[in-house]
């Protein structure tokens, strides 16, 4: 059958031919979040029982045979074997439109950010030839004021007859009057110091720079629009993840899209295992040890890792930690003899507990107070 709603009823009709009195058909789907999602939604709307089969289980079943095969019919057979042997432990399929939509927004933003990064790298390459000292012009190459400059003056020869006051007048509007005549003089001085960089076919390369600027500006607008949509959609869930330092709307949506419905995890230990943060025990004959897990959702694992790093960071100037409680906890684990990597894993595990509780109870994060140390 084709993977479209109009053909899904044919599957139910075919399955009902094999249903005898007192029997209930159970459908096992390997991909209930991707191509199989539409089928899962249709079956559930029709009151059918649908189980979600982890691809790792069907892959393991496929490797249990002397000759490893790979075809649609054989994949279906392996999924059916998993469904029979692990029926009581397989989770019920529960595709939810809100979580799915958030995941689509996260994927789309990631794709646009990746494209923007590629455009920025190309712009750096062009500017390196045109303006050798371009990094000293502006704080950010992709900033609003910088983009206006690159678009109007993609190459130094276009500044030959431009005075400092004229350049400042051009830059004052995008910089909201923050760019002074002095700043314009510094740019012109750097350009003069770099020397003549004009080469043959310069107009063509100027066209390329202007096209890049337009594309970068468009990508920035796309990202801003996607983040606004994220903010609107995530509000329907009632979570307050942004109240924790280091979590913005983008990070909150990334957590939600990878975790899904928090109610499918009975406790934080299950969530830690799902994220690959909980250790795995390897033993034989009563002897063994716990080792770092390299399984689980690696994208979610990465989110918790970077969030943990942010929690223990300190300001460069003042040395004040972003989160004093986590910073003290990290330092204590290092003093106990753990390596820095192991201490970060401890912070990640504690973050799992906190975020699980925040999502489960829809509570805001409250910064705990550190107990005062007694004087010796």
Over the stretch 311-341, which tens digit does the pLDDT of each residue have? 999 888 888 888 889 999 999 999 999 999 9
Instruction: Output the CA–CA distances (angstroms, integers) from residue 169 to 102, 131, 140, 175, in the order listed.
Output: 43, 21, 20, 10
DSSP-derived 3-state class of residue 5: helix
The reported pTM is 0.85
> Residue 33's pLDDT is what?
77
Backbone dihedral angles phi then psi of residue 27, each to the nearest 5 degrees: -105, 130
Instruction: Please state the rounded mean pLDDT for residues 245-262.
Output: 94
SS3 of residue 194 by DSSP: helix
Give burial (CB, 10 Å; 0-12/13-18/19+) of 67: exposed
Q: What is the mean pLDDT of residues 202-223?
A: 96
Q: How many helices (H) and strands (E) does the chain have?
A: 14, 4
**Which SS3 state, helix, strand or coil, does residue 186 take?**
helix
Query: What distance in Å separates the CA atoms of residue 5 and residue 11, rounded to the nearest whole number?
Result: 11
Give CA separation, 345 vs 292, 328, 359, in Å: 9, 15, 21
- Work out the burial of residue 106: count CB atoms within 10 Å of its CB; fewer than 13 is exposed, 13-18 middle, 19 or more buried: buried
- Please, which pLDDT band fits residue 295 given cuts at 50, 70 and 90? confident
Q: What is the per-residue pLDDT for 376?
A: 45
**Angle at the Cα of 19 (from 17 to 23), degrees rounded to 5?**
170
Least Cα distance to 105 among 261, 223, 263 occurs for 223
CA gap 140, 151 in Å, rounded: 15
Q: pLDDT tens digit string along 123-150?
A: 999 999 999 999 999 999 999 999 999 9
Burial readout 31-58 (b: 16 or more C-beta within 10 A, e: otherwise): ebeeebbebbbbbbeeebebbbbeeebb
Strands (DSSP E) found in 90-167: none
Express the helix, strand and coil content of the chain in percent, nearest 5 each: 60, 5, 35
d(CA 312, CA 322): 7
pLDDT at 229 over 50: yes
């Amino acid at each position: 059958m084709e993977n479209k709603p109009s053909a899904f009823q044919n599957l139910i009709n075919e399955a009902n031919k094999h249903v005898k009195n007192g029997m209930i058909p159970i459908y096992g789907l390997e991909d209930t979040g991707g191509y199989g999602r539409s089928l899962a939604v249709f079956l559930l709307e029709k009151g059918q029982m649908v189980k979600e089969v982890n691809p790792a289980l069907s892959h393991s079943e496929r490797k249990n045979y002397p000759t490893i095969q790979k075809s649609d019919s054989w994949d279906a057979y392996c999924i059916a074997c998993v469904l029979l042997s692990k029926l009581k432990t397989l989770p019920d399929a529960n595709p939810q439109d809100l979580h799915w939509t958030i995941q689509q927004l996260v994927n789309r933003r990631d794709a646009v950010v990746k494209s923007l990064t590629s455009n920025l790298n190309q712009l750096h390459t062009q500017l390196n030839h045109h303006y050798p000292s371009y990094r000293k012009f502006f704080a950010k190459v992709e900033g609003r004021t910088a983009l206006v400059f690159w678009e109007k003056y993609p190459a130094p020869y276009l500044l030959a007859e431009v005075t400092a006051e004229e350049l400042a007048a051009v830059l004052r509007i995008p910089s909201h009057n923050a760019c002074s005549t002095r700043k314009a003089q510094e740019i012109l001085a750097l350009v003069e110091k770099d020397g003549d960089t004009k080469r043959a076919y310069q107009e063509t390369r100027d066209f390329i720079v202007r096209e890049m600027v337009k594309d970068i500006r468009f990508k920035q607008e796309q990202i801003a629009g996607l983040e606004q949509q994220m903010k609107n959609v995530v509000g329907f869930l009632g979570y307050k993840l942004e109240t924790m330092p280091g979590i913005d709307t983008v990070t909150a949506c990334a957590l939600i899209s990878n975790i899904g419905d928090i109610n499918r995890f009975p406790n934080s230990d299950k969530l830690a295992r799902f994220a690959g943060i909980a250790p795995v025990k390897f033993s034989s004959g009563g002897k063994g040890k716990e080792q770092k897990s390299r399984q689980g959702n690696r994208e979610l694992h990465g989110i918790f890792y970077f969030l943990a790093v942010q929690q223990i960071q300190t300001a460069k100037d003042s040395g004040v930690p972003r989160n004093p409680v986590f910073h003290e906890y990290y330092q204590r684990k290092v003093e106990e003899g753990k390596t820095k990597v192991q201490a970060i894993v401890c912070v990640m595990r504690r973050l799992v507990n906190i975020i699980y509780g925040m999502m489960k109870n829809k509570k805001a994060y409250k910064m705990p107070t550190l107990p005062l140390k007694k004087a010796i």
